[in-house]
Amino acid sequence: MHRFSKKVSMTVVKRLPKYYQYLTDLLLNDIEKISSKELASLMGLTASQIRQDLNSFGGYGQQGYGYNVLELREAIKEILGLDSDYTCIIIGSGNMGHAIANYERFKREGVMLIGAFDVDPLRVGTVVGNVVVKHMDELEGFVKNHDIDICILCVPRGVGQQVAKTVTDLGIKGILNFSPLDLDVPDDVVVENVNITDSLFTLTYLLKEVTDPE
């Protein structure tokens, strides 16, 4: 599969979770096969986009039959790396850290929260999700003793870069970044940003477009 995925554009990659979600829904509704046209209509894409997207990964459909929902879902699950389990830690146990720690979906897809860290003495010792918050001083020892795949970063903007450096120096390769800044990380580290302020600003832009068109 990797020989295909290297060529895949981020636009297509960004659509894969959506395919996964829709195929999961179809399975839950006992739908076993679907044409590219039907899937396209569900997802608000064109049938040709669907065929192109899936062809980037080697192609899964069968002319005149469409897609086997279970097979396609399993294939996309594998492409997304969700056939493996992941360990993760949360740094920053404020409201956002709590919200993420309690996301059932993460656990269901094999992303296991095994540690949480903070510098605030009022938060250290409290529980987020199913773990007890430790002080940041314990981070290095913890990461060295556990094999951590993902750091979920929920710290204030001002310390985001510094904490990102700490965790990447400790060998963590994936960061899900809720801190509102662009992180500078080594080439072999991947960052996915969830920038809620950016989303709000995109919304106010669009809102202006619909409510005040000229």
Give how many residues touch a copy of itself by CB under 8 A: 67
Beta bridge partners of 87: 112
Residue 24 within binding range of a copy of itself, rule CB under 8 A: no
| CB of 194 vs a copy of itself, minimal distance in Å | 5
User: Which is closer to a copy of itself, CB of 128 or CB of 139?
Assistant: 128
| Residue ranges in 34-53 that form contacts with a copy of itself under rule CB under 8 A | 43-44
* DSSP-assigned letters across all residues of 78-128: HHTTTTS-EEEEEE--SHHHHHHHT-HHHHHTTEEEEEEEES-TTTTTSEE
CA distances from 80 to 17, 36, 92, 123, 181 (A): 8, 20, 26, 34, 25
State yes or no: 94 annotated in a binding site.
Answer: yes
| Residue ranges in 84-113 that form contacts with a copy of itself under rule CB under 8 A | 84, 86, 94-96, 98-100, 102-103, 105-106, 109, 111
Beta bridge partners of 191: 175
Answer whether 149's CB lies under 8 Å from 88's CB: yes
**36-43 and 47-55 are packed helices; what angle lies between their axes, rounded to 10 degrees?**
110
State yes or no: 96 annotated in a binding site.
Answer: yes
Residue 180 within binding range of a copy of itself, rule CB under 8 A: yes
User: Which is closer to a copy of itself, CB of 55 or CB of 62?
Assistant: 55
Dihedral pair phi/psi, residue 10, rounded to 5° = -60, -30
- Contacts with a copy of itself by CB under 8 A lie at 2-3, 5-6, 13-14, 16-18, 20-21, 43-44, 79-82, 84, 86, 94-96, 98-100, 102-103, 105-106, 109, 111, 149-150, 173-176, 180-182, 188-214
Write out the binding residues for NAD(+): 92-97
